[in-house]
Structures are given as C-alpha cells and as structure tokens.
Amino acid sequence: MLFFETINAYQRTAALKGAIQLDVFSAIAEGNTTFPAIAARCKTSERGMRILCDYLVIIGFLTKEEGKYGLTPDTALFLDRRSPAYVGTAERFLASPTLVDAYKDVAAIVRKGGEVISAHGTMDPEHPIWVEFARAMAPMMAMPAEAIAKLIGAPAGAPWKVLDIAAGHGLFGIAIARHNPNATVVALDWANVLEVAQEHAASAGVSARHRPLPGSAFDVEFGNGYDVVLLTNFLHHFDTATCETLLRKVNAALKPGGRAVTFEFVPNEDRVSPPAAAAFSMMMLGTTEAGDAYTFSEFDRMFRNAGFAHSELHPLPPSPGQVVISQK
Amino acid sequence: MLFFETINAYQRTAALKGAIQLDVFSAIAEGNTTFPAIAARCKTSERGMRILCDYLVIIGFLTKEEGKYGLTPDTALFLDRRSPAYVGTAERFLASPTLVDAYKDVAAIVRKGGEVISAHGTMDPEHPIWVEFARAMAPMMAMPAEAIAKLIGAPAGAPWKVLDIAAGHGLFGIAIARHNPNATVVALDWANVLEVAQEHAASAGVSARHRPLPGSAFDVEFGNGYDVVLLTNFLHHFDTATCETLLRKVNAALKPGGRAVTFEFVPNEDRVSPPAAAAFSMMMLGTTEAGDAYTFSEFDRMFRNAGFAHSELHPLPPSPGQVVISQK
C-alpha cells in the first residue's frame, strides 16, 4: 500500500544514513556476508545488524541468498568506501539535521510558500551548511565536473579566464583547470567555504591557477573578460527576478562570445518528470524563500532577459543534472 | 539513482503528512484541479501548493494531465476525507514526532540492538503515543477487524467470552461484538487508552457487552473460560521469552478448545518478503527494546512452547497483515 510505504519512508533515509555511518557496505565488500560477521566488523549488536541488513535488502541496496548478504552493482560502485566513485559522504549534507528538520512541518511551508527555518533559510550569509556541502558533496560532483570540463572543450587548452560562482567544493572549476593547463580559475564563495575549495585545488595540483574571491555573488566585484562563468547548483536558490539580476552581472563580466555554464536539475516542462530533477523543487520549497527547479524554457527566458544571445540544454548521463550553456 | 532517492526519502513522509494536514486530496476530490484553485481551497500559497502537488504526482499519489491534478484510484479511496475507507488520520501516529525522532540515529540503534528513545521506548506504562495510536490508527484497522470477525466465525452467534488484549482503539473486539450478538468482550489496555475503545464501543452500539479491564497485560488478572483471546498488533513489541510468558497466561485463560487470534505483520522465512511485513522489523528495532516482526515458524514455536496444540496462518488480503489462529 503506497500510503503505508510513503508515510514510513523517513526510515529509508535513516537506515541508509546509519548503514553508511557504520560502514556496512564496505564490511560486506570485504567479505563479511552473515549478520554476525558484519556486526562484528562494524562493532554493533547482532540483532540490530540483522534487522538493518534485511531492511537494506527490502529497499534495494543489498541482496540476500540463503542468509548471506551481498552488494548490488550500484551499491558496490557508490557505497563501498574503497570505490573511487564512493558517494557515501553525501549523507552528511543530504541527511543532515539542517535539511531533514526543515521538513518537520510541510503544511506550514506550503501555507507560507517557502522555508520556515530562519529569516533566509540556508541562504543566510556564511551558513555552516555550505561548508558541510562542500566537503560532503564533492564526491557526487566529481563525475559531472569531469563531464562538463570535456563538454565545454577544456582539453583544447585555450587560454581561459574562468569564474566559478558559488564554487563550494570547487570541483567544477578545478576540473577545467586540470583539463586545461592554460586556464585560470577565480573561485567565488563565502570565505569559510573557500577553504574547502582551496584544499581540493591543492590536492589536484592547480593551486597556482586557482584564486579565491570571498563574498556574496550579489555583492562582490567579479572583474571582467571571462571566457567561462560557472553557475553550478546555484540559481535554484533564487526567484527568477533575482536570477536575472545576477545573470546581467555575469553577462557584463564575460567577454564577447563568452559562455555561462549552468549545472542544474532541469525538469521537463510538465514539472513532474524526470523524477529526480522534478522532485528537486521540493528541496527548494523546504530550504529557500523562493527558489525552484527551473525548466529549460524558464532558464532560456532568464538568460535572454539578461542579455545572452542563446542557450542550449545538454544532458549529462548518468547524472540526473543537466547543463545549460548560454552564449553572450 | 537509488542512493539519491533514498537519502531524500524523508521528504516523502513529510510531503504526504503535510498534504493530509492541508486536506489536499479532499480538495481535489471536490473538483479543484489547478494549483491556484487547490491553494485557495486549502488556504495556502500558490507556489507551495504547485510544488507540493507536483511532488505528489512524482511519488504516485496524484495524476497530472495538461496542468490539471487528479486523484489515483487508491488516493480517492484512502485519502479523500469523505471516503468511508479514509486512513489519513494514521499520519498522526505513523508520522508523529515520537516515531520519526526515534530514527534520528540508526547507527546508535544498531550498535545497541534496540531503541534509544527512553528506558523502555514506547513500552513505558501509559505512554501517550498509545492514545494517539488508538485514535489515529482505528480507520486503518477497520477492514482487518471486519475480516477477522468473519474469519473466526463470529456471525454464527455462539455465546462467546472474548478477551481483547492491548485493545487500543478496540476495533477488533468491537467487530466481533457487532457480528455476534451473543459475544461479550473484555478489553484490556492502559486506562487512558481504554477511554478511546469505550467511545468506539458506544458508537458501535455494543457498550453493554464491552467491559474495560485497565492495566498491563503482564500484570492484570485475565479471569478464565474465554472462547477467544485477541492478540492484535501486540506480540511484536517483545522478545520471544516475554511473548511465551504472556502466551502461557493466555493459554490458562482460554477454555479447552479456545483460540488465541493473533494479528501481525508476518514476514516469510527469508525475512525480506513481502516488503511491508518484512520492513516492520525496522519499526520494532527503532521503537522497542527487543521486539520483532516474527515469522510464522517463530509464532508456531512460541505458541507450542506456551501449551497450544497447533497454529494456522491466514492471509487477510488486501491487508499486509496476517492472522495466526492458535488452538488450546
């Protein structure tokens, strides 16, 4: 019964978060396949581990054959800590009390039409959630960052000046710098967040071409003559008027023919498909005053209103995110 | 991506709860099919209602055609407040802060092997959650209560003495009293909960044959000579040793040939199917010290150890619950 499954769905989040924190998936990958063995490896009770592992089978993360647990292919790829594609850290942002508690009273959120957390939701200056975002979400963004660097032609090596707005973990700008040795990146974000981006730039060996620009994207002077301005996971936080104000500033900072590169969840015009992109509207309803998951026609209109010549939508499979490339 | 969908699953619970509280489904059933009309009927913002309704389409509760929202058949049956099968009140128990907050730290629960809410979890004497349970869950139990009364032959009208252990809303005993005018029911539960059962007995016109017995099932004197003892949604709270202690007391209270009638989520022996029944173990892990969703072989063993001759399992479709009938 869908009602019963859905009203209990919070337990899915909680169980997955707990399993990641206990490192259950790595324990199974290491060859522990019975609940007593997994419990011993993860230092838990046997009863708790049995019920958790059975639940993880029910919700699709594990297999169970004759009492032995195994990883599905996706679980082995994304949730075994030794996998290069490990994304388990993302629970620290996506299942953080800050986000989860924001949904305690959806009726109140819907009445108001926006988040009920604080004056500006997670948009408060230097809100600590964005440091956690930068650390926790980096692994989930590694693949799209790579794909975007290639999509926009970074490997061709043209001398690019890149502005990475709301850089966060910094991965999108850093991927361009790695693929294009002639690119320099200006990374803009709150000062506390930029520390994370600078750590990542150092790990990638591109610190010399990666300069921090601390502050709010709405207040800080961008400079000009940019070839590429990155707008990744950012515009969804604001209403269209606020986005257009920012996009006019972006347009002014680009050199002629320069491109704004937007990475977003872009639902179809029906706003209910594909599911992951369309459901992102609920994330914005609960955590922002007026943000949304915008459709391509809405992005196209915003960019045209801000002075851009034209925009193109590019899927980025297997990511549920898509790229909008807008030319000045 | 299953990881992303699952880590955000708490929003499904929150959105469904909010939609029930705002009575969105009844609003659509009344003919409000656009988000401005639904928002006006439910006294909310248009932005909030648009995003909520789109999300309810994505998670399967609504349809959307050319911008107009509609109810799926199941939603019309179970979530339109005017439907006799309305179960929306169940969110007040299933999505209550008491239950949801119990899952804040599943890693700690699994380490310990039981709930981390309080000394005895929801098993504390007169825990107020059971009054909310009795009021909120009654509509979801109306159908199984009817089905069980018929399954055990109440309509034949034999002079029955029935003991309803942990009666809660009282519906299981009341259904027997309604179908069998020669049945008298003793309803046992905490005194605060029995007030709800007595209201329901009065509404059903069976108060004269429905007597309250306040206290704990483990401490109170049952009396004896019972034809039927009801054990509905109760044994799952305890470990098998505690269950067997109680079942010996139940056996002593039954007359020869009398029956214990147990209503439970009974997973298959693999403990991972069917999903709704098997997932109930997670509910018991998070809210009890040592409870579980027991398999039929476990129930059979407990009843035999307590002196019962034999037990039979009966499915009760479309309910995910099943009935175990154990003869003295």
Do residue A112 and residue B48 have CB atoms under 8 angstroms apart?
Answer: yes
Instruction: State yes or no: pLDDT of B125 exceeds 90.
Output: no
Question: Which value, to the nearest 10 degrees, does the dihedral of the CA atoms of residues A203, A208, A209, A211 take?
Answer: 90
Q: In which element (H, E) is residue B211 found?
A: strand B210-214
Q: In which element (H, E) is residue A211 found?
A: strand A210-214
Instruction: State yes or no: pLDDT of A91 exceeds 90.
Output: yes
CB B200 within 8 A of CB B170: yes
- Rounded Cα–Cα distance for residues A81 and A43 (Å): 17
CB A10 within 8 A of CB B9: yes
Q: Which residues contact B151 (CB under 8 A, 6 or more apart)?
A: B314, B316, B323, B325
Work out the average pLDDT over B98-125: 84
Do residue A276 and residue B5 have CB atoms under 8 angstroms apart?
Answer: yes
Distance (Å) from the C-alpha of residue A250 to the closest C-alpha of chain B?
Answer: 27
Distance (Å) from the C-alpha of residue B271 to the closest C-alpha of chain A?
Answer: 7
Do residue A59 and residue B103 have CB atoms under 8 angstroms apart?
Answer: no
As a whole number, the mean pLDDT across chain B is: 95
Distance (Å) from the C-alpha of residue B184 to the closest C-alpha of chain A?
Answer: 33
Output the furthest CA–CA distance in chain A (Å, rounded). 65
Do residue B48 and residue A113 have CB atoms under 8 angstroms apart?
Answer: yes
Distance (Å) from the C-alpha of residue B256 to the closest C-alpha of chain A?
Answer: 37
Work out the average pLDDT over A92-99: 93
Distance (Å) from the C-alpha of residue A325 to the closest C-alpha of chain B?
Answer: 24
Write phi, then psi, for A291 (nearest 5 degrees): -75, 175
Q: Quick one: angle between helices B46-58 and B10-22, nearest 10?
A: 120
Smallest Cβ distance to A9: which of B10, B22, B271?
Answer: B10
Chain A residues near residue B64 by CB distance under 8 angstroms: 270, 272
Do residue B286 and residue A7 have CB atoms under 8 angstroms apart?
Answer: no
Interface probe for A, chosen from B45, B62, B98, B106 (most Cβ of A below 10 Å), is B106
Q: Which residues contact B282 (CB under 8 A, 6 or more apart)?
A: A11, A15, A51, A52, A55
Q: ipTM, 2 decimals?
A: 0.95
- Nearest alpha carbon to residue A230 among A307, A159, A169: A169
- Rounded Cα–Cα distance for residues A163 and B29 (Å): 50
- Nearest alpha carbon to residue B7 among A93, A83, A319, A121: A93
- For the segment B21-52, what is each residue's pLDDT rounded down to a tens digit? 999 999 999 999 999 999 999 999 999 999 99
- For the segment B316-328, what is each residue's pLDDT rounded down to a tens digit? 988 899 999 999 9
- For the segment B205-253, what is each residue's pLDDT rounded down to a tens digit? 999 999 999 999 999 999 999 999 999 999 999 999 999 999 999 999 9
| Residue B81: strand, helix, or coil | coil
Write phi, then psi, for B177 (nearest 5 degrees): -65, -35
Q: How many beta carbons lie within 10 A of that of residue B135, not counting itself?
A: 18
Do residue A7 and residue B21 have CB atoms under 8 angstroms apart?
Answer: no
Smallest Cβ distance to B279: which of A58, A100, A275?
Answer: A58
pLDDT confidence of residue A122: 64
Chain A residues near residue B95 by CB distance under 8 angstroms: 7, 10
Runs of H (alpha helix) within B160-274: 171-179, 191-203, 240-253
Smallest Cβ distance to A107: which of B18, B50, B273?
Answer: B18
Overall residue count recorded for chain B in this entry: 328
